[in-house]
Amino acid sequence: MNSSSNNSVEMGGSEEDDQMNMMEDLRRGPWTVEEDFTLINYIAHHGEGRWNSLARCAGLKRTGKSCRLRWLNYLRPDVRRGNITLEEQLMILELHSRWGNRWSKIAQHLPGRTDNEIKNYWRTRVQKHAKQLKCDVNSKQFKDTMRYLWMPRLVERIQAAATTTTTTTTTGCSSSSTTTTTSTGATTNSYPLNQSNNIDNIVTSQLVMPQGHNNCGNMSSNFRNTQITPSYTPENSSNTAVSPGSDMTDCYFPANHSLNQNFIQQNNPIGNEFTDTLISPSGYFNPWMDYQSMIEQNNQWSEGGNRGDDLSENMWNAEEIWFLKQQFNM
């Protein structure tokens, strides 16, 4: 990016841009407040579309492409700014597992989020973790880690946050968590989230946890105690921030597979395919194999000492490894 606010384009990108560039000086780099205002004002009066002519008519010395990008990624009134919520993270992971790098398609399911923002999130957060795990982001190992560790973890964190909010509601906070009874008689908690955002309708309102699912059936009490990791607090897992702990840095093996699957099946955010992806229709998910690779990773991190990344600290502690052994009769 050119840092100068007065730089003009000598050579453009596409052919049409080149043609425009030859005809007039075009600015590039960061947009000024005046440019933003001009663009907003023009679109407010004339609407979007025909970006090259729009840029000319509005008196902006920018390419149409630049105007479009600025409008769609930044100036649009419905663009949602701020940290990616837990629900959005879950949605991104799920949709990416289904569609790959089709960012705009993914963005369609996250109202207010742009493809660029989602791409940036993926590249900076998700790929970073793949790098830390020393595996390719497209590798089966990493996809399994996301699908069976990270995503269930996010689900549980969402649930935990909601539970916390419910508690605070009863103590006088203004949160709007509600308790309802389903037709089957099961009492459920629905999540209070940013009600103005459609993503909540897609994901969160569907994330209705069976009450008491936290009992975790056959899970050992020791591990149950570790379910809410030390890094988790109501503060850092709010639905308006991506805390470091909301990433994969503190994910752990799902406490109870059947329980998680049941939950997901019952509360599928985006249809049955979501369940399918988690349950691994191909059947290639092998707990033992993954356990082995996790142990290897754990050893690598231990051997490598503390590299300063949080993965080495809280990915798998001895207690959790012990639990894995118990869980899979190892």
Q: Which residues bind DNA (CB under 7 A)?
A: 1-4, 9, 11-17, 19, 27-31, 48-53, 62-66, 68-70, 72-74, 81, 83, 100-105, 107, 115-117, 119-121, 123-125, 128, 308
Question: Residue 307: beta bridge partners?
Answer: none
Pick 52 or 227: Cβ nearer DNA:
52
Pick 32 or 225: Cβ nearer DNA:
32
Pick 226 or 236: Cβ nearer DNA:
236
The least CB distance from residue 100 to DNA, in Å, is: 6
Beta carbons of 162 and 205 less than 8 angstroms apart: no
**DSSP secondary structure, 23-51, as one string:** HS--B-SSPPHHHHHHHHHHHHHH-S--H
Pick 8 or 175: Cβ nearer DNA:
8
Pick 116 or 211: Cβ nearer DNA:
116
Pick 137 or 208: Cβ nearer DNA:
137
Residue matched to tokens 């105007």: 67
Pick 127 or 169: Cβ nearer DNA:
127
| Rounded distance between C-alpha atoms, residue 254 and residue 269, angstroms | 18
Residue 188 phi/psi, 5-degree rounding, is: -130, 160
Residue matched to tokens 């701020």: 82
Pick 16 or 218: Cβ nearer DNA:
16
Half-sphere exposure of 291 (CA within 13 A, CB side): 15
Instruction: For residue 219, give the nearest of 193, 252, 195 by alpha carbon.
Output: 252
Instruction: For residue 113, give the nearest of 87, 146, 138 by alpha carbon.
Output: 87
Neighbours of 21 (CB within 10 A): 18
The least CB distance from residue 28 to DNA, in Å, is: 4
The least CB distance from residue 86 to DNA, in Å, is: 15
The least CB distance from residue 282 to DNA, in Å, is: 22
Question: Residue 266: beta bridge partners?
Answer: none
Sign of CA dihedral 321, 85, 268, 140: negative
242's CB contacts (< 8 A; 6+ apart) are 83, 84, 85, 86, 89, 125
DSSP alpha helix (H) spans, 114-255: 115-121, 127-132, 140-144, 151-170, 198-202, 221-227
The least CB distance from residue 203 to DNA, in Å, is: 19
Beta carbons of 57 and 48 less than 8 angstroms apart: no
The least CB distance from residue 270 to DNA, in Å, is: 17
The least CB distance from residue 63 to DNA, in Å, is: 6
Pick 293 or 314: Cβ nearer DNA:
314
Report the Cα 286 to chain-centroid distance in Å.
Answer: 25
The least CB distance from residue 191 to DNA, in Å, is: 23
The least CB distance from residue 138 to DNA, in Å, is: 10
